[in-house]
Amino acid sequence: MPPPSNVPAGVSAAVTNPFTCVEHLYAYLLLRGQDHITEQQYKVTRAAFNIAPPVKLPSINTIRYEIFPNIERKWKLQTSTC
């Protein structure tokens, strides 16, 4: 990603980053990405990831009730299904 000074003003104003840290982005992509995993697989991944890093992956409830709504609100994503 280019430094903020190299990003045109219109682009930087239109793009918002709802993630407070890389771990939240990683957790979001694990559960909602193109090749998303199940909640049980996430629990196993989280347990393995949280052994060493100083910043831990958030719990399923944190993702579901804090991170996802924030992302959906900032990116104006639809949450309804057919």
pLDDT above 60: residue 44: yes
How many structural domains is the chain composed of?
1
What pLDDT sits at residue 2? 46
pTM score: 0.61
Q: How far apart are the first and last CA of the chain?
A: 35
Helical H runs in 1-82?
9-14, 22-32, 39-49, 60-62, 68-75
Establish if 63 belongs to a structural domain: yes
Domain assignment present for residue 58? The answer is: yes
Question: What CA–CA distance (Å, rounded) separates 65 from 59?
Answer: 10
Contact 60, 43 (CB under 8 A): yes
Quick check: is 54 in a domain?
A: yes
Q: What is the pLDDT of residues 16-41, one digit of tens each?
A: 777 888 888 888 888 876 667 888 88
In whole angstroms, give the CA distance from residue 67 to residue 19. Answer: 8
What percent of the chain stands above pLDDT 70?
Answer: 72
Residue 10 resides in a domain: no
